């Protein structure tokens, strides 16, 4: 398909079907970063109420930088991938300390901040600063694979990005990427197109995974100020037995301590 024809198709569809999302109504890099980290591997329907709640509690990087672990994780509860919340706070602290509260406008610098990879850095630059550089996520990749690689398998992101940069609608890169997001998420949602990507990895089920037991442990700890070693051990061993999984208490606790999601004293675990 020719690039101009592709652009018209995507943009004409978007005019009629675009989604009304709160993070599309701001160019504040902090608010956009919050949305991007929340949306990583998490459905929009779960993010929407949490996004509003999070910004009410932590309206700017100064407030977030001072947040306690307990309050931060309480607000984040329900989104999963708990470490993202700590990454977000650590990034806020670094921006305050190292960049005087202003977000860098360079992708390489942004990628050095906690929790920010190539996609998030470029999405932030696009949506906050209107930078004209193409980037890929699951939905955008799906669109390019569908239109430009219909009969190919094992297509690399490098090949896709070559086309994506050519196809970029430079008049408004924000609208262009929103349109790609929505087309991929709505029109192409159930077509399993991303299997054609060289980088495709099927997401493992949450139920019974290490993430599942970590979430159970964090929620249990958030329900009380502190929990004895024995109480957590009994709780987790019951969960492990119910799911018939090979994980041990030691595996789960070690993982949580490593990611600094929980703390340990002589007698208690706490957040």
Catalytic residue numbers read 36
| CA atoms of 200 and 214, how far apart (whole Å) | 25
How far is residue 184 CA from its own chain's centroid?
A: 17
What is the distance, to the nearest Å, from the Cα of residue 255 to the centroid of all Cα atoms in its chain?
20
Show Cβ contacts of residue 90 under 8 Å, excluding neighbours closer than 6 positions.
Answer: 113, 114, 115
Ramachandran region of residue 152, left (φ > 0), alpha (ψ -120 to 50) or beta? beta
Tokens of 85: 């919340």
Residue 187: which residues within 8 A CB-CB, separation 6 or more?
Answer: 13
- CA nearest 23: which of 15, 33, 14? 33
- Chain centroid to Cα 18, Å, comes to 21
List the one residue out of 144, 148, 150, 104 whose CA is nearest residue 128: 104
Please identify which residue in the block is written with the tokens 């949580």.
256
Helix (H) or strand (E) holding 226: strand 226-228
Q: Do the beta carbons of residue 199 and residue 137 sit within 8 Å?
A: no
């Amino acid at each position: 398909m020719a690039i101009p024809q592709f652009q018209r198709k995507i943009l004409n569809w978007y005019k009629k079907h675009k989604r009304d999302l709160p993070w599309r109504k701001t160019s504040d890099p902090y608010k956009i970063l919050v949305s991007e980290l929340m949306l990583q591997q998490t459905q929009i329907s779960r993010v929407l109420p949490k996004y509003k709640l999070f910004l009410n509690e932590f309206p700017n990087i100064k407030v977030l930088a001072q947040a306690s672990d307990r309050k931060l994780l309480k607000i984040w509860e329900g989104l999963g991938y708990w470490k993202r919340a700590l990454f977000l706070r650590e990034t806020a602290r670094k921006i305050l300390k190292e960049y005087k509260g202003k977000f860098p406008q360079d992708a390489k610098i942004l990628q050095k901040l906690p929790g920010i990879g190539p996609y998030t850095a470029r999405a932030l630059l696009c949506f906050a600063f209107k930078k004209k550089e193409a980037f890929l996520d699951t939905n955008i990749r799906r669109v390019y694979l569908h239109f430009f690689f219909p009969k190919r398998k094992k297509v690399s992101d490098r090949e896709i990005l070559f086309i994506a940069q050519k196809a970029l609608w430079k008049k408004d890169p924000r609208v262009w990427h929103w349109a790609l997001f929505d087309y991929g998420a709505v029109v192409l949602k159930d077509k399993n197109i991303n299997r054609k990507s060289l980088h495709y990895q099927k997401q493992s089920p949450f139920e019974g995974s290490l993430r599942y037991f970590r979430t159970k442990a964090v929620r249990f700890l958030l329900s009380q100020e502190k929990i004895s070693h024995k109480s957590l051990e009994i709780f987790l061993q019951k969960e492990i037995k119910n799911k018939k999984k090979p994980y041990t208490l030691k595996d789960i606790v070690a993982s949580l301590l490593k990611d600094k999601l929980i703390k340990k004293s002589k007698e208690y675990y706490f957040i």
